Structure formats: C-alpha cells, structure tokens
Chain A
C-alpha cells in the first residue's frame, strides 16, 4: 500500500467512525451538547463549508456567507410565521405554506447570491474580500433598519412552522440534529462531487491561473459567478437550518461578529479541506462553551478579557503553527509519522494569489 493510499484508507475509516459516532450521539451525549454543540456545529459547519468551497476550489475568500445564511433565515422567517394570539409579534407574518416558503427562501438566496457573485466576479484578493464583507453589512443593516421584516427585535416562532417532512423540531430536538446531519452529509458529498466535474476542475484552473484559463476560452467571470451561486445555495441550506435551530432571528446572526466567527471557524478547521468546516465549527463551539463556563464574565485573571481573547490567541497560534488549520495539522502529522519528512502539499489547493505569483 502506498503512502497516499494508506492515508486515504485511514481517513475513510475515521470518516466512517465519525459518522457512526454522529448517528449514536443522541445516546451518548447530554441534550445540551446534542443541541447546542453538535447540532449548531453541523449547521455552522455547513456555512463554513460554503466559505471553504469558494476558498479552496475557487480562490475566493468570501465574507458574504454569513449574510447569505441570514438572508435565507430571514426570508423563511418572514414567510412562514403568522399572527396568532400569544404568537409572534415581529416581521411580515405572511403565514405561507412551510414547504413553499422553504423552497422560496433557498431560491431567493441563490438568486441574490448570483447577483452578488456577478458583481464581485471580476474582483480578486483584498478587493473581493471587502466587496463580500460589504454584502453582509448591507444585509445586516437592511434587516435591522427595515422594521417591517423584523428590525433589531427578534422574529420568532420560525421553528414552529416546518414542512411535514421535517416534523416537530420544537419538542424533538434529536430530529433537528439528524436533519442537520443529513444536510451536512449531502453538502459534503455535493462539494466533493462538484470538484470532480468538468466545472469543478475548470474552477480550480481559474483559481490557479485565471489569465491562462481565459486565454483558453473559459469564461472566468461566469465560472466564478456560478461558484458563488453554489456557495449561496449551501449557505442557504445552513441559513434555514440555523433559523430552525435558533427559533427566532435577529440581525446579529449576520453581524460583523458572526462574520468573523465563520471565518475563524474555517481557519481553525482549515481553509483547504472541506472536512475542516465541521471540525472547526465543533472545536469553536466547544471552546466557546467551556471558556464561558469556566472563566468569570468579569474576565480572565490578571490579563482580563473573556472568550474573544482566548479564541483570538488560539487563532493566532493556528495561523502561526498550522496555517491550514486542524486539517493541516493532521496532514502534517501523517507525513511525519510515515516519512519522517515535511508534509506534501495537497495537490491543487493553492490560493490564487500564491499560484499567480509563482
């Protein structure tokens, strides 16, 4: 067995093991952990996967993914909730059919994502980053300022209006966990599949050499726009799940903090491998939860600061020690254990800026 084959076999075994553990999780962990760490981790992981997909295969580090998740969530919330005595008090309260609303929310988000993508498709590097951050800021301020669709107060009761095939997720949180698990698995398979299609391969070519690809006749802007649309679709799936998980939405789910949080999750997990999305999300939430429980709200002893200080230090350490995040650490550990030498670069996973400068 070659070194690479052995690694693939090992990773698949770990993957199957992780999947078995994930299926058995409701029997193994407390309700809080299942709901607040694992379910939320799967959902944030889907959001981070959309970011990693664009970064690893399209060379586009997008800060719009939080905004797109929020747009999907807000669209769903405004469409499904309705005015009833003792019910919700904010939002449009359209009271539409939940299945129709679900489809409409996803389609709306993909449509907006395609428009966003088209506008940003000719921007690269820091300009692309800033442009996509602007999208999220616009989305945040829009839902906060237009009180008709919610304002800064929460639009509540989203989880009470789910399609029949989703069922009751208010009283049965295990159900939401398994739905999130299935969607996460679908997103993982979808991205793995897409990257092997002619579109995915040409996207990676555009990531590495956009000028050469253009000279070969590929429409760079259209490829990047479509990739952004796919990223928006994945983010929309995460967004509707996040709306169901939260039960009520307020603009801070797509604020600057939340945007940075998703980026930190992706960096902790690793920006070059899609698996890093879920690894990063769960690691982030575990750290967040434990720090909040163990450190007084008044701050750390001597140096002060709370969770943000700790996660900031962890972020710095990861960027210095392993720029490819936890997945990068795994790749390097494997190389070290098997060959005693430096790790091999993951083929075809260089950011565009690096590639174009070589």
Chain B
C-alpha cells in the first residue's frame, strides 16, 4: 500500500475509534437512587489555581470527619475519598470542576457537573463572579442545590438570592467589617484611596471598607479599578494620589497579582510604609503571605471571618484544630479561608442530608433541611451559633487582622479586633433593592453602623469587653 493511503486510512481509523468512544456517553443514563451525587466546583486555572487542592481538602476533610469517609491519598486531596455516607446514602463525588475565575467557564463547568454528571448538590464555587453566574444558573434549576464554597460577591445571596443557594460564610463586605474604623482610630487615617480588581468580589470588599471607613467619618478620595486578568499596574498606580496626598491606601488586588501591584507602587513611589497600607484578605492570604506581607509588618487587613487557629481560645476553635488538622497535614493549611469555608459548606450538607425528610433526600427536601444555624470554629456570638438570614446568607463574627512578625521571623497574622454578628446588609446599608456593589457604589457617606464604636479588643486570643479606641 502506498504511503499516501496510510496517511489517509490511519486518521480515518483513528477517527472512527475516537468517535465511537467519545459519543458513547451521549446515550448514558445516570440513575442511581442509593447515593447522593456531589460536585465540587473550584479553580484549577487562573489567579486562584492553588485553591484546587485546598478547597478539595476542605470538602474531603469534612466528609471524613462528619460522614465516615477517608481520604484516598493524604498527599493529594483531589484523589477523592473512600466511603462516606449521610442520611443513609452513599456520598458520591462525581467530579471536581475546573474554573479560572471567569463566569463563562464556571457556567460551562457547572452544566457539565450538574447536568451531564447529574450532581444533586454543588459545593462551590471559589470566586465572586463565578458565584454570580452560578446563582443565576441556580435560579433556572431549582432542584439543584448550591452551597457556595468560598466566593465573596454580594449578589448571589442579596440581589439574586435564589432559594436553592446557601452561603455559610460572609461576603467580601462582611469580611472587612471593622477594618475602616480600626485604621481611622489606630492609624489616624482620615482620607484614603482604593485600588482593586475590576470585578464583583473586590467591589464587594470595597463596599464593606467604604461603609465602615466613611461611616465613622473618613473620606475616600479616589477609586482605581484594574483589569482582573492582571498585567502592568504602573498606569493604574499613577492614577492614585501620591503618598503625601492621602493618609492611606486600601488594596483589593488579588491572587498572584497582589505582589505585582505592590512592585509597581514601589517603583513609582519607593518602599511602602506599612502604616499607610491596608486591604482585604489579599494582603496576606492566597500566596501573599510570602510576597507582600514581609513588606507590610504592622498593617491591618480584612479576612475570611477566621483567625489563626490556635490563637482564639474558644472550645469551638480548638476543636476545629483537632478535627480538621488530622486529614491533610502539611498539604492543606486549615487556617486558610478556602479550606475553612469549604469545610463548613460540606458540614452543613451532611447535616442537611441527615435531617432531610425522608433522610438523604435531595432537591427541595434537602433545601428545606439544610441547617439555618451552624457552630463553626470562629463563631463566638450567640453562644457560638452562626445564623443564616432570610436569604440563606450567614450572619457571622468578623476578625480584622494584623500582619506581625512571628517567632521565626517570618510574617504571620494576629487578631486585631472582634466584630460580633456582622450581617450582609450592614444594618440596612445594603439591600436586595439597592444596587450591587460596583465601581462607584456605595457612595462615601457618614452613617452609624451596628458595630460602630463596639469593636472589641482581643488579648492573647481572648475577646475582652474593652472597645477599640
């Protein structure tokens, strides 16, 4: 046979084989009544790609603690788990979604997980705009249940708020409650500029900071928004007021880009002064602990509603350290808000399946049975009980944090204050009939927030009755 014929017949044969294998799934059915199908939605690409194993570890560790599962591989959470039952049914993790923080891919992955792989419940997503997209998907798919993993945009449980979406942690605004008041009182800031990524999570983060800082009398003089995919920050840094024109800067640039933003700032204005910089969780978490934090020893920042495990001397926090820390030692940091929030989402799911009528039901029965209260590690108010509001959004305690130097000389963080029962509306500042946070919303106005003047001092891990002055 001539070479030319092989060149044609070989690809044709390959095409037939590949086509047969690949289209075999078109006719497959997924009927299995003895199990609950769970999907994990996280990112494996983009700025938050490192969340893939951490998020999955939170889920597997919680199933291992509360549903009798065991990790398949303690060095690799995404390898899955063995066993696991809740509500009398086997828990089957049908897939782990691979997003890149963009809503389009999150939606495609959600459809694959929920429609093709027929998951009943999704634990996720990781990022703000992804959660907006998935909340809209949930609205059109009421039988599917979404328990948000660790996304902090406001819209999914405020303006969109479908009945099948639950969030057992704060949004980006809640995660910054108290921060504005602390820099106002402790650092004497009266004016500040904001620089952040141009999408829903930083907008929501900024909303919390603005509400708090302006609420007590501060002024935001400039808001600069940068493309979320990163790039050259120099032009945006130049849009900020110079260091001698403003008391401080709030940073909301995320993931791997935080360091690039600070590098551009230093190239423009010289070394940064920690007293002049604050921001959301991006200043310390998600990789910034080794790149940004060393330059900002002493700076205050928001968080995930978490504190360093072991620092907070409450029974719930100590119990969490023991329970969560045993499954993936050295692989997943249980301090990480990614781990903690996926853990709590999974724990709530197990409770929901156990309480559903009949047990192990999914759809509306599961949604009715998902707990409206939870006792997560870092909740102290209400005797340690976190409550969901009427839109299934957590009302949570918040811990503004401070970057400090640890005993080993490396940066670590410590609790800078305690804010009890932070609700998503900030006492009516935000609401379902108000616009979602954006580039220019909310405006900077003086307003009394529920916790204004009541942020507690935390000493040696113990919350005191003394207010921060």
Contacts and interface: CB of A to CB of B under 8 A. Distances in A.
B96 interface: yes
A37 B26 CA distance: 9
Interface residue SS majority, chain B:
helix
B26 A290 contact: no
B98 A252 contact: no
Contacts of A252: 102-105
A253 interface: yes
A358 interface: no
A336 B111 contact: no
A86 B436 CA distance: 11
A99 interface: no
A156 B104 CA distance: 11
B115 A36 contact: yes
B227 interface: yes
Contact of B116 (A145, A247, A289, A297): A289
B4 A145 contact: no
Interface stretch (B128-136, B288-296, B301-309, B413-421): B128-136
A123 interface: no
A154 interface: yes
B102 to A, nearest CB: 4
Given A30-B28, A89-B435, A336-B8, A298 B111 contact: no
B78 A86 contact: no
Contact of A297 (B21, B52, B137): B52
B104 A246 contact: yes
B111 A36 contact: yes
B316 to A, nearest CB: 33
A287 B199 CA distance: 31
Given A252-B104, A253-B104, A286-B22, A30 B27 contact: yes
Contacts of B132: 89-90, 153-154, 156
Question: Range of interface residues on chain B?
Answer: 35 or more
Given A247-B136, A342-B4, A153 B200 contact: yes
B160 A152 contact: no
A293 interface: yes
A246 B26 CA distance: 21
Question: Range of interface residues on chain A?
Answer: 35 or more
Contacts of B433: 85
A290 B25 contact: yes
B107 A89 contact: no
A252 B160 CA distance: 22
A146 to B, nearest CB: 10
A239 interface: no
A33 B116 CA distance: 8
B12 A333 contact: yes
B230 interface: no
B60 interface: no
Given A30-B29, A144-B227, A145-B227, A86 B44 contact: no
Interface string A142-167: 00110100011110110100000000
Given A30-B26, A31-B115, A297 B8 contact: no
Given A248-B133, A252-B102, A36 B8 contact: no
Contacts of A32: 111-112, 115-116
A296 interface: yes
A133 B362 CA distance: 47
A321 interface: yes
Interface in B410-469: 432-433, 435-436, 438-439
B5 A336 contact: yes
Nearest to B95: A293
Interface of B: 4-5, 7-8, 11-12, 15, 19, 21-23, 25-29, 44, 52, 78, 95-96, 98, 102-105, 107-108, 111-112, 115-117, 128-129, 132-133, 136-137, 139-140, 153, 155, 159-162, 198-200, 225, 227-228, 432-433, 435-436, 438-439
Given A32-B112, A152-B227, 12 more contacts: A36-B115, A141-B227, A145-B198, A154-B132, A170-B140, A247-B140, A253-B104, A286-B23, A293-B112, A296-B78, A321-B11, A329-B12
13 contacts: A30-B29, A86-B159, A90-B436, A145-B198, A145-B227, A147-B439, A152-B227, A153-B103, A154-B136, A156-B133, A246-B107, A248-B103, A333-B12
Shortest beta-carbon contacts, A-B, top 10: A32-B116, A297-B98, A156-B136, A154-B103, A250-B103, A297-B44, A33-B26, A89-B436, A252-B104, A290-B22
